[in-house]
């Protein structure tokens, strides 16, 4: 039985270079995200904060080093296995609220549970409960274009939380939000950590970093 303090994600001496770049974006980076902890990754622009999120989200493979998720190395995992891990264990929050514009807010949130094998009905029910919890239940039938950026970002957070992930990766989650919405999003991430998820936040914000339990500074 896992409990708070157990590592959910470990980056071991990770180096990564984009094919178009000569110099690696990340070089020999190591970090550890434990259950129940919020970890901030800070550093100037271009230092590789987002790239670290992509690596831990299994979207790219490290040039050197290893990403260990839930105790298992991921370097040799197939694309399908990586997708399944994303569907069941990872939650993603981007700086800009990326949602399907043609779907309603509740359909967007429900999608977060569908690829893990959840039925449509169950996913919609969960989405409604989450939207109510984050104060935007009355917007569930609206399209993303019909709500504010802050409301859309809360919907993105709901989509990340609907599958009850063990690791939440957030890339500048409050970067484009006003103070009230930023606070609401951070509160949601904290609540997820309190329920046992590990949370990694890439941020420029000193306030966000201070709200976390630990900070890893990339230079």
Contact set with another protein (CB under 8 A): 50, 53-54, 57, 59-60, 79-80, 83-84, 86-88, 90, 92, 94-96, 98-100, 102-103, 107, 111-120, 159, 163-164, 171
User: Nearer Cβ to another protein, position 81 or 213?
Assistant: 81
Task: Give the nearer residue to another protein in terms of CB position, either 65 or 173.
Answer: 173
State the minimum distance, in angstroms, from the CB of residue 195 to another protein: 12
Which residue bears the tokens 């039938």? 141
List of residues 6+ apart from 81 with CB closer than 8 A: none
CB of 84 vs another protein, minimal distance in Å: 5
For residues 120 and 213, which CB has a smaller minimum distance to another protein in the complex? 120
User: Tokens representing 68?
Assistant: 């260990």
CB of 109 to another protein, least distance (A): 11
* CA 203 distance to own-chain centroid: 12
CA 45 to chain centre: 19
First-to-last alpha carbon distance for the chain, in angstroms, is 36
DSSP 196: T
- When the beta carbons of 173 and 210 are compared against another protein, the nearer one is 173
Question: Residue 17 or residue 214: which is nearer to another protein going by CB?
Answer: 17
Of residues 164, 170, 165, the one with CA closest to residue 182: 170
How far apart are the C-alpha atoms of 83 and 117, rounded to whole Å? 13
Instruction: Quote the least distance from Cβ 82 to another protein, whole Å.
Output: 9
CB of 188 to another protein, least distance (A): 18
Specify the residue, 34 or 107, whose C-beta has the smaller distance to another protein.
107
DSSP E strand boundaries for the chain: 7-16, 26-34, 38-42, 64-69, 72-73, 90-93, 167-171, 198-202, 214-217
In whole angstroms, how close is the CB of 66 to another protein at the nearest point?
20
């Amino acid at each position: 039985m896992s409990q708070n303090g157990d590592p959910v994600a470990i980056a071991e001496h990770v180096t990564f270079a984009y094919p178009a770049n000569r110099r690696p974006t990340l070089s020999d980076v190591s970090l550890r995200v434990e259950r129940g902890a919020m970890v901030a990754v800070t550093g100037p622009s271009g230092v590789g904060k987002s790239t670290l999120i992509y690596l831990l989200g299994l979207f790219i493979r490290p040039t050197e080093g290893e990403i260990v998720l839930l105790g298992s190395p991921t370097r040799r995992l197939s694309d399908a296995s990586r997708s399944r891990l994303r569907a069941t264990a990872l939650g993603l929050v981007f700086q800009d609220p990326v949602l399907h514009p043609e779907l309603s807010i509740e359909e967007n949130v429900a999608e977060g549970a569908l690829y893990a094998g959840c039925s449509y009905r169950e996913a919609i029910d969960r989405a409604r409960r989450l939207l109510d919890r984050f104060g935007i239940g009355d917007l569930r039938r609206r399209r993303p274009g019909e709500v504010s950026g802050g409301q859309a970002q809360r919907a993105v957070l709901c989509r990340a939380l609907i599958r009850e992930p063990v690791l939440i990766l957030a890339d500048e989650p409050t970067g484009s939000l006003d103070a009230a919405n930023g606070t609401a999003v951070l509160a949601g991430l904290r609540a997820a950590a309190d329920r046992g998820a590990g949370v990694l936040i890439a941020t420029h914000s000193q306030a966000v970093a201070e709200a976390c339990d630990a900070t890893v500074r990339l230079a």
